[in-house]
Amino acid sequence: MLSLLFEIAMLVSSVCGFFVAAWLMWRAQKQGDLQALAGFATMMAIWCLGHVLLLQGYHLAGVLVVLANPLMPTFFLHFALCFVNSEPVQNRFLDRLRDVLPWLYVISGFVVLESWWRGGGDVISTADLDAFFVFTDAGILNLAYTVLIGVAAHSILLFGWYRHQGNKKRSILAMFGVGAWGLLLATSFVFPSFGMNWFPYPMLLLPSYLLLLVYGVVRYQILSVNAFANRALLWLAMMLVVFCLIAVISVVSGQVGLQALANVPSWQLWLYSLLLLVMTAVIYQPLNRLISRLIYPGAMLNEQVLENWSSHLKEAQDWPALIAIGERLLSAQIRRNVQINMPFSDDIAVKTDLAIRLSHDQNGWRFILIGWEDASPGMRLTAEVFASLYANSCGLLDRSLALAAAERKRLDEQHLVELGGLSAAVAHELRNPLNIIAMASHDSPPETRQHIQTQLNRADRLVSDMLVYSGGLTLQRSPTPLRALITSVLAQSSLENIHYDIQVDDALELDADPQRLQQVFINLIDNATAFLRNQADSRLCIEATLEAESLIIQIHNNGPEIDKTLQGGALFQPFVTKRAGGSGLGLAIVRRIIDAHGGRIFHRVDTGWPVTFEIVLPNKQTQEEKQEQQNAE
């Protein structure tokens, strides 16, 4: 019986070795380490087959095959070198050792030939085995060389474990654990060679060594291996549970009156149970698919479909493209038109019977199925799986767009800094030729001199605005009475024939830079007076009110309405103006100063005045009072 078990174990190990080698060669794709590991699996399969040949009576062939075992650690050494000597670890000694690998194969072949020639192996009978391999005195070199190459291979792995990080370090650690297991299993192989006539029980588990070794190597490289290992462990656990149950049944069946069952040999019960478990494993997937089609008719979901969905959704570069791809994929899968609604969609009305509505909150993206109540269970399952995958794609695209926007903002800011430096340099350089032109025009006729002076003043104003706009903006904050500041600006402005009204409380005070804020009112009032000066019944009104934590300042005038093409954000862009002789930088400077104060500026058309500019600034006094009240509570 033990002889039969040993032969089955060796045969299973051989078959597993050939299958693993073929699978590794298929997945290797010119990877030197996996190709070498496939060679190791092949040699181990041949070595196990040699023991089967011995038990079948082919003693000479079996001995010759087993004596070829030095090639097995040589392939493993080859694998260790390729696996360890890769990025980011590159070692000169390992490079040189890799260069002499062909010679190591030659030496291993020579050791095998020497063992064959001198009769390095023999066959003996033990108490439990009719034929078992033992080394003769002439085979000691074969055994010693095999052990030496194995030690060298594991030394290289130890070096790799010390130098590598991440998954490679984990793989090497797993290989060491499996190596200890393999050493334990192989120890009994050499017992008879040293006169210990024991049955090699550990070798019955030899099939597990190769599988665990390969799994430890590729589990971090080929994800499909982990799915296979998960299923294999599940069936192994079920097998152990069945064996335990059979053992319990064999013991208690006679005591409960089931004498016929108690008389059945335990090994037959185990064999029948094992066959039943194998049959269950074979028919599980077909039955699972059949039942899924019965419960969820129309749902044809598998790994290929999910992979196809995922790959196509990743192609989307913006939200419209993602919506279009999502609708096309799901509609094609269920053969019904489906609409996908996003939070920012212009038209969120459901245009089809079936829809998926996406929403976003602090916990991520969520979905709601709309109109799927009457859909078949298969269609609904397909929609739920797709919507879950689609929500994940929304999160990925959202982060991708945010990163792209941040990068564009950084580049824009860098470009503005460079442009600001260039503008400042140009503005400074323009001052010199302007001064030369002013001095050269001193002796020209009065009319010509006046015309030149007007244009020089215009150019000087443009240069000054460019310097203000392009220069670094630092604030020197201090308590600033608002009404007094506005009054001083109006006193310096040309307000002939313009009626003005200041509706600002004397007690209003701002924490602001008075010089910068004065520039804001100068620009806004100058813009207004430029259009009001030649208009009858011209009026200008400045009012300020407190609301919540903000101070709202409105500058009204009854001049001509601003062109609709300029309303909105374009009005505050540089070099945008309808004012004759204007630089186009006045409002851009205003917005920049207000932004620096943490405020906002708008153009409004709903106040009853033709033109209104509204400034909203944070009110530090109100915030401090609120904080004091909270502290008191």
pLDDT, tens digit (0-9, with 9 covering 90-100), for 314-366? 888 888 888 899 989 888 888 888 888 887 655 445 566 788 888 888 888 88
pLDDT band for 398, please (50, 70, 90 cuts): confident
What mean pLDDT is predicted for residues 198-220? 66
- Neighbouring C-beta atoms of residue 353, cutoff 10 Å: 14
Residue 135 pairs in a beta bridge with: 121
Which contiguous run of DSSP H or E holds residue 385? Answer: helix 377-440
Going by C-alpha positions, the residue among 218, 290, 167 that lies closest to residue 227 is 218
If one looks up domain 2-221 in CATH, what number appears? Answer: 1.20.1070.10
The string of DSSP letters for 214-283 reads: HHHHHTTT-HHHHHHHHHHHHHHHHHHHHHHHHHHHHHHTGGGT-HHHHHS-HHHHHHHHHHHHHHHHHH
- Greater confidence (536 vs 412) lies with 536
Please report the pLDDT score of residue 73 as a whole number. 87
CA distances 571 to 583, 585, 611, 616, Å, are: 13, 10, 13, 17
Residue 360 pairs in a beta bridge with: 365
Count of CA atoms in the C-beta half-sphere (13 A) of 376: 15
pLDDT band for 224, please (50, 70, 90 cuts): very low
Please report the pLDDT score of residue 113 as a whole number. 93
**pLDDT above 90 for 541:** yes
**67-117: per-residue pLDDT in tens?**
998 898 898 888 888 888 776 666 777 788 888 888 999 999 999 999 999
- Collapsing DSSP states into helix, strand and coil, what is residue 473? coil
Residues 396-424: b if buried by 16+ CB within 10 A, e if exposed = ebeeeeeeeeeeeeeeeeeeeeeebeebb
pLDDT band for 557, please (50, 70, 90 cuts): very high
Please report the pLDDT score of residue 433 as a whole number. 80
**90-104: per-residue pLDDT in tens?**
677 778 888 888 899
Going by C-alpha positions, the residue among 317, 326, 404, 399 that lies closest to residue 358 is 326
Please report the pLDDT score of residue 620 as a whole number. 66
Domains 2-221 and 473-630 in one fold: no
Instruction: Round the average pLDDT of the chain to a whole number and report it.
Output: 78
User: How do the domains of the chain map onto residue ranges?
Assistant: 2-221, 240-291, 303-399, 473-630
0.85 exceeded by pTM: no
Percent of the chain with pLDDT over 70: 75
**239-278: per-residue pLDDT in tens?**
777 767 776 776 677 666 677 766 767 667 667 777 777 7
Please report the pLDDT score of residue 47 as a whole number. 86
Please report the pLDDT score of residue 137 as a whole number. 84
Question: Which amino acid would we find at residue 534?
Answer: N
Tokens of 569: 């954000």
Percent of the chain with pLDDT over 90: 7
CA distances 31 to 17, 88, 221, Å, are: 19, 17, 12
pLDDT band for 222, please (50, 70, 90 cuts): very low
Nearest-angstrom CA–CA distance, 114 and 136: 13
At the top level of CATH, which class does the domain 473-630 belong to? alpha beta
pLDDT band for 225, please (50, 70, 90 cuts): very low
Please report the pLDDT score of residue 296 as a whole number. 55
- Neighbouring C-beta atoms of residue 533, cutoff 10 Å: 14
Please report the pLDDT score of residue 3 as a whole number. 75
- Collapsing DSSP states into helix, strand and coil, what is residue 119? coil
**pLDDT above 50 for 523:** yes
- Greater confidence (431 vs 494) lies with 494
